[in-house]
Structure 1
Amino acid sequence: MADNLLQSLPAEWYLSEPELFTETHTSRIIMVRLENGEQAVVKQLNATGMENELRGAHYLEWHDGHGCVRVLKQQDNNLLLEYGGSRTLLDHLNEHGDSSATLIFTDLFQRLQETFRSQKPVSPDFVPLRKQFSSLFKKAEKDRKAGERSIFVDVAAIADRLLDNQRDIQPLHGDIHHENILFGKRGWLVIDPQALLGDPAYDAANMFYNPVERTDLRTDPKRVATMAKIFEDVFRRDRKDYLEFGMAHACLSASWHDEDKNHEERDRSLAVATTIREVLASAA
């Protein structure tokens, strides 16, 4: 197996000790050693990955290691990436609590914002945030035509307003969560970006939705309100923006699950949206 993996990698990279870490519908992740003995990661894209994930490499290159893992090399469908570490923010949360994990995130997120402030040019292939929300708008329109005033209908209107009034439009990770934040020799770094383009409040608001398996946190109004206040205090922006983007993201995720006919996950996502809506109502 190791020999086959090694033969699939560019010989001129002088990689060794390949080990398949995981395989997804877009790529396989291979742990390797560089010529100097340091650990690294090869993301080997399949046809789907080549179509949809190369922009993720452009996001990492845009940040150039600032708050993200670095792209070390690229050849054909192979991306050689810096090894971010084995410890996730979820590990930290489980050991030290949600508040501590949230503060680590806010510090990392501020580092990511520094790239935007440097006014570096942006790759043209990032997905506009409005396009990202197409499934929510489609679901809302379907419900509206059926005469159903669902949460999808209500939140789609809020999402439309948010998208019409975006601030500081910039490259977004698009899928920030506790297991996409790793700790290694360069500290906390993000991995595996989806590469969107839009309001950074959307990226931060993804944290209300995570960790995915911690329903106790995701549907706890006190946790939602506390996280929103932290965001407001640290990022100097009205907490309502984060709450509304968080509710919109939860409904967007629910619309994806609805398309897949995964009703259990759809309802779990809607429970997050409902919790955030309750917090918004109590703060009004």
Structure 2
Amino acid sequence: MTMPSDIYQHLILVDCDGGRGSIFDDLTLLKDLPNNCLLHLFWNNSDVAINEKLQRLKTNAQCHLHPSLLLNVKNSADAELIYFLGKSVIQYSSIIIVGEGDEIYREVVESVNKDFGKKKTIELVKIDDSKSCLLKLIEQMRKRNNENDYCEEKYRLVQGLPYAKCPLCTKAFKTIAARNAHLQAKSHKQKLVTNLMTDIKPEQKILQPNMSTKTTETKTKTLQCPHAPCSVKQKKFNKKGLKQHNKDVHSKLEMNFSNGSSLVPH
């Protein structure tokens, strides 16, 4: 059994018998499917009209066709749909079954809810208006994508499945975990740091943890004139400035004092 992806994905299972295949009359709507959605269609292939209609979808990477293997067997499409769901239920975050309110589908929904609880969303949708049904499904999936922080721009459709894109190269990965491991490669790790630093203002860079940028602080020691009295007692000097101050001011005072003059300069 395929292990579940950590990418949020939708699975839409459509029982196309009983005229329900008419929701695909307008194929232009399929271009609006979210890239994390897969459609699986089931029907009794003895119906020539529905065969022709649904076979038009076989080139769409997000649509998978399941005509029944047995001819003219009632409920053969239902059985195949349920069998497929049993194989795939663990892989998808959100599952919608499009069909009538058959007891067998309600039983399936209840069983999945019992086994998975809130970890998985599954529901049965009945078609009221075939023209708007697909549009409503697309709107519902986009709403759930928003609720689960799924951003389509970060993913690429690969063979009908969403792959997580690497933001630094052209590669894409089936799981987010695989993409993150790829980003830890030596070549990418340096690019990530560089990209992060480009978004940081110069004065903020010294505050960022785990960055290789080194900063040095230069402190200038300030000195006061030690002479008393001194007309500029409160002024602060660096070492060179204090030496010059003593030479310019106090050396003259000392000379005046030796000549009997006052210590206070005039």
**If the length of structure 2 is used for normalisation, what is the TM-score?**
0.22
Q: Which has the larger Rg?
A: 2
**If the length of structure 1 is used for normalisation, what is the TM-score?**
0.21
Q: When you count helix as a share of all residues, which structure comes out higher?
A: 1
